[in-house]
Amino acid sequence: MGGVYCHGGGGIGAFTSDFTNRDSAITRFTLTNNDIFANKGVGVSVGNDGVPAITHNRIYGKHNAAIYVAGEKAQGTITDNEIYENKDGIVLREGACPHIERNTIRDQLRRGVVVCARGQGFLVDNTISGSKTFNVEVRGEKPKVVDVDKAEAELEKKKRLYAAMGLLVPLSKDGVTIAGLLTDESGKTCVSMRGNRIVGGGKGGVRLMEWAKGYMKLNQLIEASGPALLVESGADPEVDENTIAENASHGIHVLAGGMGRYANNKIHMNASAGFCIGAEACSDVRANDISENDGPGVLVEASANARVYGNTMHSNGGAGIEVAGEGTTQLRDNDVHSNKGAAGLVVCAAADVVVNENHVHENDGAGVLLLDGANPLLGKNRIISNGTEGVRCTGSAKGRLERNTIEGNGGAGLLAEPGSQPTIGENFVTNNGGEDGEAQPVVEAD
Report yes or no on 178 lying in a domain: no
Characterise 125 by phi-psi region: left (phi > 0), alpha (psi -120 to 50), beta (else).
Answer: left
Counting the structural domains of the chain, the total is 2
The span from the CA of 380 to the CA of 260, in Å, is 28
pLDDT along the chain (446 residues), means of 10: 78 45 60 95 90 94 95 89 98 91 98 93 96 96 68 69 59 44 60 96 96 94 98 95 98 96 98 95 96 97 92 98 90 97 94 94 97 94 97 92 96 92 93 60 49
- pLDDT attached to residue 7: 80
| Domain end among 77, 110, 136 | 77
pLDDT number for residue 151: 62
Q: Which amino acid is at 232?
A: E
The residue segments making up the domain with residue 24 are 1-77
In this structure, is residue 303 part of a structural domain?
A: yes
For the chain, give me the number of helices (H) and strands (E)?
1, 51
The answer to the question of residue 25 being in a domain is: yes
For 351, the 3-state DSSP assignment is coil
pTM of the predicted model, to two decimals? Answer: 0.87
- How far apart CA 406 and CA 128 sit, in angstroms, is 48
Let me know the angle formed at the C-alpha of 136 by 132 and 140, rounded to the nearest 5 degrees: 120
Residue 166 lies in a domain: no
Rounded to an integer, what is the distance from CA 93 to the centroid of its chain? Answer: 22
Which residues, 6 or more positions from 58, have their beta carbon under 8 angstroms from its beta carbon?
Answer: 34, 35, 36, 37, 81, 82
Q: Cβ atoms within 10 A of the Cβ of 152, count?
A: 11
Residue 34 lies in a domain: yes
Per the CB < 8 A criterion, the answer to whether 331 and 307 are in contact is no
Q: Which of 77, 100, 123 is the last residue of a domain?
A: 77
> How buried is 154 (Cβ within 10 angstroms: 0-12 exposed, 13-18 middle, 19+ buried)?
exposed
- Flag whether 172 is in a domain: no
Written as one string, the DSSP assignment of 167-217 is: -PPPPP-SSEEETTEEE-TT---EEEEES-EEE--SSEEEEE-TT-EEEEE
DSSP bridge pairs for 2: 42
Q: Please report whether residue 98 resides in a domain.
A: no
Residue 139 lies in a domain: no
CATH code of the domain covering residue 311: 2.160.20.10
Predicted confidence at residue 165, as pLDDT, reads 59
Which of 77, 97, 126 is the last residue in one of the domains?
77
Task: Tell me how many degrees the CA angle 107-113-118 measures, rounded to the nearest 5.
Answer: 165
- Between the alpha carbon of residue 244 and those of residues 222, 224, 268, 408, the distances in Å are 6, 10, 6, 34
DSSP string of 126-163, one letter each residue: -EEE--SSEEEEE---PPPP--HHHHHHHHHHHHHHHH
* Separation between Cα atoms, residue 235 and residue 70, nearest integer Å: 22
Beta strand 176-178 pairing with 181-183: antiparallel
